[in-house]
Amino acid sequence: MKLQQIKVDENNSEIVLFTTDEFNSLTANLVLAFGERVFLEKTAPYQKLKSLYPNANIVICSSSGQISNMNLVQNNLVATAIAFEKTKIKVTEIDILLNPDIKLLGKKIKDDLLSDDLKSILVISEGSLINGTELINELILQTREAVPIFGGLAGDEYNFEKTIVGLNSDASPGKIVAIGFYGDNIHFGFASEGGWSDFGPEREVTHSEKNILYKIGDRFALDLYKEYLGKYAEELPGSSLYFPLSMKENAMSEPVVRTILSIDEEKKSMTFAGDIPIGSQVRLMKGNFDKLIDASYNAASLIHKNQSNKPELALLVSCVGRKIVLGDRIEEEIEVVKEVFGDKMLVCGFYSYGEISPTLNKVACELHNQTMTITTIYES
Over residues 180-202, the pLDDT tens digits come to 999 999 999 999 999 988 888 99
Three-state SS at 361? coil
Verdict on whether the full-model pTM lies above 0.85: yes
Per-position pLDDT tens, the chain of length 380: 999 999 999 999 999 999 999 999 999 999 999 999 999 999 999 999 999 999 999 999 999 999 999 999 999 999 999 999 999 999 999 999 998 999 999 999 999 999 999 999 999 999 988 888 899 899 999 988 889 999 999 999 988 889 999 999 999 999 999 999 999 999 999 999 999 888 889 999 999 999 999 999 999 999 999 988 888 888 887 777 788 889 999 888 888 888 887 889 999 999 987 899 999 999 988 888 899 999 999 999 999 987 767 779 999 999 988 998 899 999 999 999 999 998 889 999 999 999 999 875 556 678 888 899 999 999 99
Residue 360 pLDDT: 55
State the pairing for strand pair 118-125/149-153: parallel
Work out whether the CA dihedral 351, 91, 358, 162 comes out positive or negative: positive
The answer to whether residues 339 and 301 touch, using CB atoms and an 8 Å cutoff, is no
pLDDT the model gives residue 37: 97
Alpha-carbon distance values, 43 to 8, 38, 49, 170 (Å): 10, 9, 12, 10
- Assess contact for 345 and 313: CB atoms under 8 A: yes
Residue 267 has what pLDDT? 96
In 10 A of CB 30, how many CB atoms?
A: 20
* 89-to-148, 180, 314 alpha-carbon distances in Å: 15, 5, 18
Q: In angstroms, what CA-CA distances link 9 with 58, 78, 197? A: 18, 9, 38
pLDDT at residue 361, rounded to an integer: 55
Tell me the C-alpha distance between 149 and 284, whole Å: 28
SS3 159: coil
Residue 306's closest CA among 376, 211, 371?
A: 376
Question: Using the 8-state DSSP alphabet, how is residue 255 labeled?
Answer: P
d(CA 48, CA 60) in angstroms, rounded, equals: 12
Length of the chain: 380
Closest by alpha carbon to 65, among 40, 31, 35, 33? 35
Which amino acid does the sequence have at 146?
A
pLDDT, position 363: 60
